């Protein structure tokens, strides 16, 4: 008995160390390179695990060995303790009417620890990036040059629980705490004028939110199973603590590297006087509805629709005149197939093959043009000794348009996720 407890303690310590290590990595990386992250609170990150991203982002399917981050009600199906983490390497081709640019970035996607407390009751906690800001934009109008640069992240810590209340119906809830910092630098230069003007803005964001979910699973005829999911996220607000500086810059000669752009004078704006020192940022409500059909440990196919009340988004501190927001939606289709889950003769027969498609109307309107996204994905979940699986996902997507002097992005993402399983909080026959 003592040896069993010692083993569990060692595993717990190992997982906690892994959690803190992953957290450090999450805050030390630049997570996106997208001009469209200029708007809102940045580019919204996918809030699920690698297996779900391979299926177009579907969050319908509940698994006894994996943490479902998207729908807390699905935690009722957990039978094993599951530690999950994921990372993404991204390459983008950014196209305008005049130029082409290739960018690369890497990002932390999530870590989560989930476990069953008692039969039909599961809990989880973890960290998921909510949005990312990362852009460099240069624009020339008349005799003036404008340069915009931004960076930062908004992350969310979550604590979720799900309980199977009756038959195949489960209810769940998730509390989420948002936190992060966004930096934005605007540089202006007028022809034939020596000095530059630089405006630097910083926002420290924090605030709570929650969502509730329903999950229903029913066995039909001929070994078929019906899966359905509903998640509602109410509108919430983030507190934004802001600061803004105005600086004058000019080129100063240097013996080592030639002329360098150097700050000559900086003035801190009194945001208290304008009511912008502490503001409230509104995050819109959203509802996700999904349905799927499958055969246990064999195949699954599903459809999910998400509506986001994006027209309610507001940020009094950071406003732009060339953008508007409208209600948006996402449509995802995907599934998986396992040739032979119990095969001993062929490793590849035990591999889970996943694929999916996703279309998104982002709700961002620039110069009268809707900014939309279309993506396709394919993935493999590989059984590995010591791990439940390692999932490799390839995604290709397109965002935006070159119409009305806008930007089109072509992106390729390589996602890597893993899940480690074990049994905790379960009595053995010797106890």
**With bands split at pLDDT 50, 70 and 90, how would you rate the model's confidence at 349?**
very high
- Has residue 11 got a pLDDT over 60? no
343-350 mean pLDDT: 90
Which has more pLDDT, 94 or 320? 94
- Has residue 216 got a pLDDT over 70? yes
- pLDDT given at position 374: 96
- pLDDT given at position 250: 79
- Has residue 426 got a pLDDT over 90? no
- pLDDT given at position 317: 85
Task: Give the whole-number percent of the chain exceeding pLDDT 90.
Answer: 52
pLDDT tens-digit readout, 60-93:
999 888 999 999 999 999 998 999 999 999 998 8
- pLDDT given at position 323: 84
- Has residue 421 got a pLDDT over 90? no
- pLDDT given at position 293: 97
Asked if 38 and 186 count as a contact pair (C-beta separation under 8 A), the reply is no
Q: Which of 117-126, 245-254, 373-382 has the lowest mean pLDDT?
A: 245-254
304-311 mean pLDDT: 94
- pLDDT given at position 244: 92
And the tokens for 419?
A: 């899940």
Task: Give the whole-number percent of the chain exceeding pLDDT 70.
Answer: 88
Instruction: Give the closest residue to 197 by CA, choosing from 245, 133, 126.
Output: 245
Domains of the chain and CATH, by start = 2-241+279-422 (2.40.160.60)
- Has residue 9 got a pLDDT over 50? no
- pLDDT given at position 387: 61
**With bands split at pLDDT 50, 70 and 90, how would you rate the model's confidence at 425?**
very low
pLDDT tens-digit readout, 95-109:
887 788 888 888 888
Tell me the C-alpha distance between 149 and 5, whole Å: 52
Residue 175: count of CB within 10 angstroms of its CB: 16
- pLDDT given at position 314: 84
Tell me the C-alpha distance between 360 and 49, whole Å: 19
The chain-wide mean pLDDT, for the chain, equals 86
- pLDDT given at position 232: 97
Which has more pLDDT, 429 or 375? 375
- Has residue 259 got a pLDDT over 70? no
Tell me the C-alpha distance between 110 and 157, whole Å: 10
**With bands split at pLDDT 50, 70 and 90, how would you rate the model's confidence at 1?**
very low
Q: Which of 13-27, 174-188, 221-235, 308-322 has the lowest mean pLDDT?
A: 13-27
Tell me the C-alpha distance between 50 and 358, whole Å: 15
Asked if 35 and 399 count as a contact pair (C-beta separation under 8 A), the reply is no
- Has residue 25 got a pLDDT over 70? no
Distance of CA 6 to the CA centre of its chain: 36
What are the distances in angstroms from CA 140 to CA 5, 188, 251, 379? 66, 10, 20, 42
Q: Which of 145-154, 206-215, 216-225 has the lowest mean pLDDT?
A: 145-154
- pLDDT given at position 31: 57
């Amino acid at each position: 008995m003592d040896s069993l407890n010692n083993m569990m303690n060692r595993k717990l310590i190992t997982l906690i160390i892994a959690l803190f290590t992953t957290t450090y990595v999450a805050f030390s990386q630049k997570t996106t390179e997208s001009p469209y992250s200029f708007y809102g609170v940045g580019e919204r990150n996918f809030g699920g695990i690698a297996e779900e991203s391979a299926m177009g982002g579907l969050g319908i399917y509940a698994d006894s060995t994996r943490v479902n981050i998207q729908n807390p009600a699905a935690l009722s199906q957990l039978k094993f303790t599951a530690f999950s983490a994921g990372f993404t390497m991204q390459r983008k081709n950014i196209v305008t009417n005049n130029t082409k640019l290739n960018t690369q970035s890497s990002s932390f996607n999530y870590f989560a620890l989930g476990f069953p407390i008692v039969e039909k009751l599961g809990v989880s906690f973890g960290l998921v990036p909510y949005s990312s800001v990362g852009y460099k934009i240069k624009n020339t109008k008349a005799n003036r040059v404008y340069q915009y640069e931004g960076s930062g992240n908004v992350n969310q810590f979550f604590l979720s629980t799900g309980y199977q209340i009756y038959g195949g119906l489960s209810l769940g809830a998730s509390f989420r705490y948002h936190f992060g910092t966004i930096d934005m630098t605007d540089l202006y230069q007028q022809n034939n004028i020596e000095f530059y003007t630089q405006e630097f803005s910083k926002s420290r964001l924090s605030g709570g939110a929650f969502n509730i979910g329903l999950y229903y699973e029913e066995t039909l005829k001929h070994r078929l199973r019906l899966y359905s999911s509903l998640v509602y996220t109410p509108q919430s607000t983030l507190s934004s603590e802001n600061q803004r500086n105005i600086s004058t810059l000019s080129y100063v000669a240097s013996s080592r590297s030639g002329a360098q752009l150097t700050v000559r004078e900086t003035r801190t704006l009194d945001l208290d006087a304008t009511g912008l020192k502490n503001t409230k940022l509104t995050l819109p409500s959203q509802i996700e509805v999904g349905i799927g059909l499958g055969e246990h440990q064999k195949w699954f196919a599903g459809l999910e629709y998400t509506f986001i009340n994006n027209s309610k988004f507001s940020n009094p501190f950071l406003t732009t005149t060339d953008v508007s927001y409208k209600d948006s939606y996402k449509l995802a289709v995907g599934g998986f197939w396992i040739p032979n889950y119990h095969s001993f003769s062929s490793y590849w027969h035990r591999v889970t093959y996943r694929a999916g498609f996703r279309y998104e109307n982002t709700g961002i309107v620039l110069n009268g043009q809707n900014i939309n996204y279309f993506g396709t994905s394919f993935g493999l979940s590989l059984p590995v000794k010591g791990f439940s699986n390692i999932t490799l996902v390839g995604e290709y997507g397109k965002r935006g348009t070159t119409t009305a002097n806008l930007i089109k992005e072509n992106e390729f993402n390589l996602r890597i996720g893993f899940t480690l399983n074990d049994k905790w909080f379960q009595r053995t026959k010797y106890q």
